[in-house]
Structure 1
């Protein structure tokens, strides 16, 4: 007996109508009783030789149509589990290959030669990558020099390497790597200079310390160069960022005042500030100060407020002073802040999320308080992965 695959589950397996989960199958494939997969019209040839081992991608065997359907389905399934039916849902916006502008690589000493790459799925074993179809070329270009630099130093290590594409080049932050003595220090500086890094910072257990930064590192957000603290959050791709910003701008519309909650560096605040006064609320102090200094330097109507919205959310009476609110919380969602939004008199809310499950839980609270989910726009910034993002719009009379 054979069964067709009708959809892809949250963790990337193909699912049949009877509920069988088949690893490596995509929508349109046919599966025999013994698990043999007959590829269908949407089964693609994975472009990367590491696919199947590397934990960075789960869905390279799916074509673009199936990928977009998967992203949309993840969002709709989460909403419907909470009894929410958006009035409109846009086609998923998918980021292209080679567009990821931030990533964390790992490095270990593999018997006298450094291995640099991503971990296998569900394992601490490292895949020593020789190609990557998601990383921006400027990030991947550092893999070979990193491998050479680490191989030359010897010793045991298990380091994490955060790479971010900033305005002036790549910001490289290395954690859990001990640098001792003049020779190792000079090798690190030579690596930074020879590869034109915007910044090199090292965290040897006491927080990041900058070793190399010829010019202050910035990231431009809606035309505003904002100081980039080590480890600060950015949307994963410029393409995905544009899609989320376009949604926020469409929905915020003519609002004169907006509360931007979990504002980070001001990704949304600076995009909205052309026509709107924005209160940008952020808990991380260095990120808050970066947003504040950029707003002052470039005369944007953005007021930055340092406040932990989990412990001290904006209260309903504070929210009532604004025409609209936008929130982009961490993966856990924003239960405490959403409770205050529900009790407020706000009529327009834009909710951006990187976790459909926590978003749907928060959305249910808002719908129960009288909001209507007007529109949802799914976004697949993490191409070929099961990670899904979205922007959503809620109103009430």
Structure 2
């Protein structure tokens, strides 16, 4: 038996003691004993609990791998996520005052990917256990919107219809304003019998749309999300913000950062999360690498009223970033890259003379790296707003306003 004292929390949510030794579900200040296995303490027992330890609100917390931090108080998690951003910035010599994160409430996740396996009696749908291929049902999930947890029987019915006995079905369910949008991958090949069965299932569960692998199997009505004054129908499986509250916080921050801008470039624009609201006040050029998403954005813009012009371009900004001369007419840029950041595009932004940049990120480490590039080029960070729409997880997002100095 080995006893350790936890010094800090790692980026994956494990407690870390000297060594380092990693201890799952442990918090800083706790004394923990268990069996040492290399760098990991197995079967840990909390001998001295932290004052920040709480009873997990979800009955699935011990088995489900979906949340990493339900054993910690909301205040601790909020402070820790703010420190994650602060430490990432400090590694590049950047110091900015940070307010507490804007955290999405419990039961607010509007999309989730369920795993489904056939069983002898039907199918089992849910999330994987921690570090396991085993699926557990999560009917009392405190993270998902109630309409998603209520959809578990529908997901299991999909498994009965379309999963092989050995394979695993992946079912992405998105709550939209007009009903659930379902995208299935890893299922059987589509045939007439399966299509008819899916039609019956969609009617029974009042689904808006079902996509099967790369194709829309059926659409009873368009799945619609409201963005500013526009109604967006995203392509199946398209990237969307995890919660409506988180999306609203990000949009509000971007709009504040670019208040008064007349020509904006939206880089890594997706389906128009920022482009459509920004077009209420500015002309927007949206650049995205996925044609289906730019088509959805264009359709939403053309059918909305009161928006200024949105142009769009399908372009791989990793290999072919916008050049300074292409940004010359813009007085604002919003950039929202994936977790890897946007080193190539940021290098070109650093050579341009855009007055303001709203930098959105889901990775504080690459955000700090790219922001350091812009600071060296003459930008100042005016503020950073931290947004936590992945409640009880180790993920954190943020929006920053960078203004070019004179």
Secondary structure at the aligned position of 2:11 is classed as coil
1:1-397 matched pairs, under 5 angstroms: 5=6, 7-15=8-16, 21-27=22-28, 29-31=29-31, 36-37=45-46, 38-86=48-96, 88-151=97-160, 155-156=164-165, 157-178=167-188, 182-203=192-213, 207=214, 209-299=215-305, 300-301=307-308, 302-397=310-405
Partners of 1:256 and 1:284 lie apart in 2 by 26
Partners of 1:275 and 1:185 lie apart in 2 by 44
Secondary structure at the aligned position of 1:49 is classed as coil
Instruction: Give the total of aligned pairs.
Output: 391
Cα deviation for residue 353 of structure 1 reads 0.6
7 and 271 in structure 1: CA distance in 2 versus 1, 3 angstrom threshold: farther
Partners of 1:32 and 1:297 lie apart in 2 by 59
Secondary structure at the aligned position of 1:59 is classed as coil
- 1:7–1:70 CA contact under 8 A, matched in 2: no
Secondary structure at the aligned position of 1:267 is classed as coil
Secondary structure at the aligned position of 2:84 is classed as helix
Where has structure 1 moved over 6 Å in runs of 4 or more? 1-4
- 1:202–1:211 CA contact under 8 A, matched in 2: yes
Give unpaired runs (5+ residues) of structure 2: 35-43
Using structure 2 for the length normalisation, give the TM-score.
0.90
Cα deviation for residue 305 of structure 1 reads 2.2
154 and 59 in structure 1: CA distance in 2 versus 1, 3 angstrom threshold: closer
Partners of 1:149 and 1:296 lie apart in 2 by 35
Q: CA-to-partner distance for each residue in 1:236-276, whole Å, 9 max, x for gaps?
A: 00111111111111111111111111111111112222222
187 and 121 in structure 1: CA distance in 2 versus 1, 3 angstrom threshold: same
Cα deviation for residue 183 of structure 1 reads 4.5
Cα deviation for residue 15 of structure 1 reads 4.2
Q: Flag the structure with more relative contact order, 1 or 2, with Cα contacts below 8 A and sequence separation at least 6.
A: 1
Using structure 1 for the length normalisation, give the TM-score.
0.92
Give unpaired runs (5+ residues) of structure 1: none
Partners of 2:365 and 2:146 lie apart in 1 by 32
Partners of 2:163 and 2:312 lie apart in 1 by 45
Q: CA-to-partner distance for each residue in 1:197-248, whole Å, 9 max, x for gaps?
A: 1101111xxx2x2222122222211121012111111110011111111111
- 1:339–1:365 CA contact under 8 A, matched in 2: yes
**Backbone CA RMSD of aligned residues:** 2.3
Partners of 2:288 and 2:295 lie apart in 1 by 9
Partners of 2:271 and 2:199 lie apart in 1 by 28
Q: CA-to-partner distance for each residue in 1:336-379, whole Å, 9 max, x for gaps?
A: 11010011112211110111111111112111212122211111
